[in-house]
């Protein structure tokens, strides 16, 4: 059942609306650095999340994430939730009619499924995008009751000025979480909203009561469904043969029942699936539902173990029979997800992940792809910024043109200028005979992707800004301009607002680049995506190389999730590929992990000698790093760009390392 926040958190009158408005101004003008804000603690935390995700505080409406066709599919996928919520929405339609309020029902991802209540309020809500198909997670619509309830897992009330987005500050909203009684997975949110003068603190217990009513209906619905599956399965678990393990599942991969000896049979087959954890099992390839929650991919299942259970010729569940210690040689082919019909879906299907964070980033990128606006991708090295850039390109009107990428941190100032704008023959010593086309010109009709945009020299930034404004370039040494039309996507692992405040990046260029800013969380904050990425790497190595097919044990998945992954997706992929090639075992465990990645080990303080002895400590590694950096700077006579390129790191990273070790440039 829903928990209620402590009274001090729910007391929206702790601060005046004027105080909160001042705090909002201070927070945004300081880039989130201000402390002791006159707002409730959970609102301040929500604002910080919005800032880190690049939410635009000047936004006026929620984005429409499900168009008419997609909305039909969304409603079908949430048929059970809507049916169980119908008594509540019917009651709210009458109760809220004269209270200038509306009731909203959303799916697990904060996308509105239904809006009922006061007709005038329903009409007003259209103005801020509060309509079926619009998205209300914090990552797309800032601090609001639905999004913040999803982020915290608690009933939430957001009043007036507490909203992060300016366009929503005239409203008050109160939301409660709807969870699946089976495993407490979030399945939806129920919310009461109205203009801020309709604020009522008693809406909190009301939405909690309604959410609990829906959960009870979901529980009854599940019970009826399971009884039907049991009736059609004709499976006697109490008298099950002692040499077999039997498990009964519904279409959503939830365990209904199992024979007494199933756990020992799973163990004898070296399958690490724990029935007591209520982990959902994907049976989608056998006709089960797609599972949107954390789950076991079911790669250990063999097709001759599965028996679909039907009612009136329709699959309603599955019976799995496990033979003791006797794996069938008959394996199933595990297909990739069927590509969607439209180009946009195909492009974004390549991005792995089911976490709320990555889904929000994909949603925002999809919407941005349909506009001509510049996009700024923010995230650590290795989080997949280039993959996002390519997906945006392939989903945009520029997809028929080229995708041209350039790393701004890989060149000296003069070479970068030539790479960007090109040059004519004889423009400078060493200029190519016949001249050279620059990357901007090469991207004409397509997309220009500038990685490490923060490394662009300050004096080149106004020249590049003029190109964006006038849509024409001058090759170095040329007089006549060349018209260009391209889509710009930039990326950085730096905090550009700080670079602007410290004078290392032009404010006008920053505002031009960040029209649409998309934050990509590090893998350490997307633990739910680790298993899917690892399984995808396994599939790719299995199909592209002649190696023994590998499986990942549950203990290995746990170990992978417990690491921080400073190199993010790139580092994880390297580790999985290493195990696939280097291990002779078919079932990969923690023992197959490379040195430094096993539980309890760290790459920072572990380095093996030829005898496998651990010798390096963190301090000695720092000393070695300092010496390496110092040697590189001396070798390239203080040319930081060349030194960084030699070391294989970004120029900004090298500057930070120099500051860390108090190293001076000899120039």
**pLDDT tens figures, 74-100:** 888 888 899 999 999 999 988 888 788
Distances (CA, A) of 199 to 42, 94, 206, 366: 19, 19, 13, 35
Interatomic CA distance for residues 457 and 505, integer angstroms:
8
| Same domain flag for 513 and 539 | no
Confidence of residue 662 (pLDDT cuts 50, 70, 90): confident
Whichever domain contains 419, its CATH number is 3.40.50.300
299: burial class by Cβ within 10 Å (0-12, 13-18, 19+)? middle
Query: Is pLDDT of 615 > 80?
Result: no
Whichever domain contains 643, its CATH number is 1.10.10
pLDDT at 621 (0 to 100): 54
pLDDT at 239 (0 to 100): 58
Contacts of 170 (CB under 8 A, 6+ apart): 160, 195, 196
* Lowest mean pLDDT across 16-25, 48-57, 219-228, 608-617: 608-617
* Lowest mean pLDDT across 293-307, 542-556, 596-610: 596-610
- Three-class HEC string of 159-173: EHHHCCCHHHCCEEE
| Same domain flag for 360 and 463 | yes
| 388 compared with 608, residue with greater pLDDT | 388
**In a domain? residue 153:** yes
pLDDT at 427 (0 to 100): 55
Interatomic CA distance for residues 638 and 654, integer angstroms:
12
pTM here is: 0.50
| Same domain flag for 200 and 307 | no
**pLDDT tens figures, 365-406:** 998 998 888 999 998 888 889 999 999 999 998 888 899 999
Contact between 556 and 588 (Cβ < 8 Å)? yes
**pLDDT tens figures, 504-530:** 899 989 988 988 999 998 888 888 889
- 3-class DSSP state of 139: helix
Across 173-187, 422-436, 538-552, which has the greatest mean pLDDT? Answer: 173-187
**In a domain? residue 203:** yes
Confidence of residue 238 (pLDDT cuts 50, 70, 90): low
**pLDDT tens figures, 314-355:** 899 999 988 875 544 333 333 333 333 344 446 787 788 888
pLDDT at 611 (0 to 100): 38
Q: Which helix (H) or strand (E) holds 105?
A: strand 101-107
Strand order in the sheet with 487-492: 403-407, 447-451, 487-492, 375-378, 516-519
| Same domain flag for 357 and 447 | yes
Across 52-56, 108-112, 338-342, which has the greatest mean pLDDT? Answer: 108-112
| Same domain flag for 516 and 530 | no
- Say how many Å lie between the first and final Cα of the chain, rounded: 66
**pLDDT tens figures, 267-279:** 888 888 888 888 8
Paired tokens of 304: 């001759």
Interatomic CA distance for residues 634 and 644, integer angstroms:
12
pLDDT at 332 (0 to 100): 35
pLDDT at 464 (0 to 100): 92
Across 337-341, 601-605, 662-666, which has the greatest mean pLDDT? Answer: 662-666
Task: Kindly report the backbone phi and psi dihedral angles of residue 278, in degrees, each rounded to the nearest multiple of 5, phi listed first.
Answer: 55, 35
Tell which of 189, 218, 247 closes a domain: 218
Distances (CA, A) of 645 to 338, 439, 540, 633, 657: 41, 20, 31, 11, 14
**In a domain? residue 223:** no
| Same domain flag for 264 and 350 | no
Tell which of 504, 521, 538 closes a domain: 521
Closest CA to 253 of 310, 304, 312, 294: 294
Overall number of domains in the chain = 5
pLDDT at 162 (0 to 100): 94
State mean pLDDT over 480-506.
89
Q: What is the dihedral of CA 88, 94, 95, 99, to 10 degrees?
A: 130
pLDDT at 642 (0 to 100): 75
| Same domain flag for 191 and 248 | no
Query: Is pLDDT of 415 > 60?
Result: yes
| Same domain flag for 159 and 29 | yes
- Three-class HEC string of 518-532: EECCCHHHCHHHHHH
The runs of H, that is alpha helices, within 180-322 are 203-233, 262-268
**pLDDT tens figures, 416-461:** 888 898 877 665 555 556 567 889 998 999 999 999 999 999 989 9
pLDDT at 209 (0 to 100): 92
Contact between 150 and 190 (Cβ < 8 Å)? no
Q: What is the dihedral of CA 612, 615, 619, 625, to 10 degrees?
A: -60
Percent of the chain with pLDDT over 70: 85
Confidence of residue 215 (pLDDT cuts 50, 70, 90): very high
Helices 356-369 and 385-394: crossing angle, nearest 10°? 40
| 451 compared with 413, residue with greater pLDDT | 451
**In a domain? residue 609:** no
pLDDT at 142 (0 to 100): 93
Q: How many CB atoms lie within 10 A of CB 69?
A: 8
Query: Is pLDDT of 149 > 90?
Result: yes
| 306 compared with 539, residue with greater pLDDT | 306
Across 233-237, 562-566, 616-620, which has the greatest mean pLDDT? Answer: 562-566
Closest CA to 585 of 550, 542, 538: 550
| 70 compared with 337, residue with greater pLDDT | 70
State mean pLDDT over 622-626.
68
**In a domain? residue 599:** no
| Same domain flag for 472 and 540 | no
Distances (CA, A) of 600 to 415, 559, 597, 603, 612: 45, 10, 8, 10, 16
pLDDT at 7 (0 to 100): 43
| Same domain flag for 37 and 176 | yes
Query: Is pLDDT of 49 > 70?
Result: yes
- 3-class DSSP state of 151: helix
pLDDT at 648 (0 to 100): 63
Percent of the chain with pLDDT over 90: 31
Q: What does the mean pLDDT of the chain come to?
A: 82
Whichever domain contains 148, its CATH number is 3.30.450.40
Interatomic CA distance for residues 303 and 330, integer angstroms:
7
**In a domain? residue 371:** yes
Q: What is the DSSP string of 284-316?
A: GGGT-PPP-SSEE--TT--GGGEEEEEETTEEE
Query: Is pLDDT of 609 > 90?
Result: no
State mean pLDDT over 556-566.
87
| Same domain flag for 444 and 579 | no
Query: Is pLDDT of 210 > 90?
Result: yes
pLDDT at 241 (0 to 100): 52
| Same domain flag for 289 and 317 | yes
Paired tokens of 261: 């000896």
Whichever domain contains 588, its CATH number is 1.10.8.60
State mean pLDDT over 255-282.
86
pLDDT at 375 (0 to 100): 94
Interatomic CA distance for residues 162 and 10, integer angstroms:
12
pLDDT at 608 (0 to 100): 42
pLDDT at 547 (0 to 100): 64
CA atoms within 13 A on the CB side of 296: 24
Task: Kindly report the backbone phi and psi dihedral angles of residue 105, in degrees, each rounded to the nearest multiple of 5, phi listed first.
Answer: -115, 130
State mean pLDDT over 591-609.
69
pLDDT at 102 (0 to 100): 94
> What is the domain range of residue 652?
618-660
**In a domain? residue 496:** yes
Paired tokens of 612: 């496998």
Q: How many CB atoms lie within 10 A of CB 109?
A: 21
Interatomic CA distance for residues 49 and 274, integer angstroms:
34
Contact between 641 and 416 (Cβ < 8 Å)? no
pLDDT at 478 (0 to 100): 72
**In a domain? residue 333:** no
Query: Is pLDDT of 12 > 60?
Result: no
Tell which of 521, 542, 558 closes a domain: 521
């Amino acid at each position: 059942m829903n928990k209620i926040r402590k009274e001090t958190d729910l007391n929206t009158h702790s601060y005046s609306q004027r105080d909160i408005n001042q705090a909002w101004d201070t927070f945004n003008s300081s880039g989130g650095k201000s402390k002791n804000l006159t707002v409730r603690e959970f609102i301040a935390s929500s604002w910080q999340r919005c800032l880190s995700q690049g939410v635009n505080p000047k936004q006026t409406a929620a984005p429409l994430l499900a168009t008419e066709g997609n909305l039909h599919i969304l409603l079908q996928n949430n048929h059970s939730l809507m049916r169980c919520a119908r008594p509540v929405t019917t009651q709210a339609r009458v109760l809220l009619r004269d209270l200038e309020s509306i009731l909203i029902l959303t799916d697990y991802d904060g996308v509105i499924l239904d809006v009922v209540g006061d007709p005038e309020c329903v009409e007003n809500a259209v103005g801020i995008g509060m309509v079926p198909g619009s998205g209300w997670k914090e990552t797309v619509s800032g601090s609001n009751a639905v999004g913040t309830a999803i982020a915290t897992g608690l009933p939430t009330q957001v009043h007036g000025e507490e909203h992060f987005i300016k366009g929503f500050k005239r409203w008050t909203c109160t939301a409660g979480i709807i969870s699946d009684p089976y495993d407490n997975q979030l399945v939806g949110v129920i919310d009461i909203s109205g203009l801020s003068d309709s604020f009522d603190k008693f809406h909190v217990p009301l939405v909690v009561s309604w959410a609990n009513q829906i959960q009870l209906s979901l529980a009854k619905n599940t019970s009826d469904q399971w009884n039907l599956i049991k009736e059609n399965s004709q499976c006697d678990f109490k008298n099950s043969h002692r040499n077999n393990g039997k498990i009964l599942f519904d279409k959503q991969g939830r365990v209904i029942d199992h024979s007494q000896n199933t756990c020992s049979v799973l163990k004898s087959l070296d399958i690490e699936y724990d029935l007591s954890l209520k982990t959902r099992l994907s049976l989608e390839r056998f006709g089960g539902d797609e599972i949107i929650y954390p789950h076991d991919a079911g790669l250990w299942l063999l097709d001759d173990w599965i028996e679909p259970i039907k009612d009136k010729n329709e699959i309603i569940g599955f019976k799995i029979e496990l033979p003791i210690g006797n794996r069938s040689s008959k394996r199933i082919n595990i297909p990739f997800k069927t590509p969607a019909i439209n180009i946009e879906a195909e492009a974004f299907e390549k991005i792995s992940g089911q976490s709320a964070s990555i889904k929000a980033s994909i949603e925002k990128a999809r919407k941005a792809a349909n506009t001509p606006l510049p996009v700024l991708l923010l995230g650590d090295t290795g989080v997949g910024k280039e993959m996002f850039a390519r997906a945006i390109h392939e989903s945009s009107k520029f997809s028929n043109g080229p995708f041209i990428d350039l790393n701004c941190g890989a060149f000296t100032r003069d070479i970068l200028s030539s790479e960007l704008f090109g040059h004519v023959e004889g423009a400078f010593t060493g200029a190519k005979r016949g001249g050279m086309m620059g990357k901007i010109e090469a991207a004409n009709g397509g997309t220009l992707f500038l990685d490490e945009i923060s490394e662009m020299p300050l004096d080149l930034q106004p020249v590049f800004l003029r190109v964006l404004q006038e849509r024409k370039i001058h090759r170095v040494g040329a007089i006549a301009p060349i018209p260009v039309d391209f889509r710009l996507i930039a990326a950085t692992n730096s905090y550009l607002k700080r670079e602007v405040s410290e004078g290392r990046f032009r404010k006008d260029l920053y505002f031009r680049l960040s029209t649409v800013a998309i934050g990509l969380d590090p893998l350490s904050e997307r633990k739910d995506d680790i298993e899917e990425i690892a399984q995808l790497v396994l599939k790719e190595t299995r199909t592209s190389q002649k190696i023994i097919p590998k499986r990942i044990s549950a203990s290995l998945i746990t170990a992978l999730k417990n690491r921080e992954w400073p190199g993010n997706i790139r580092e994880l992929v390297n580790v999985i590929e290493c195990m696939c090639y280097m291990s002779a075992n078919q079932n990969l465990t923690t023992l197959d992990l490379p040195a430094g990645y096993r539980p309890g080990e760290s790459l920072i303080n572990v380095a093996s000698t030829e005898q496998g002895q651990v010798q390096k400590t963190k301090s000695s590694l720092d000393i070695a790093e300092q010496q390496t950096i110092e040697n590189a700077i001396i070798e390239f006579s203080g040319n930081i760009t060349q030194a960084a390129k030699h070391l294989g790191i970004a120029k900004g990273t090298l500057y930070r390392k120099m500051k860390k070790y108090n190293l001076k440039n000899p120039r």
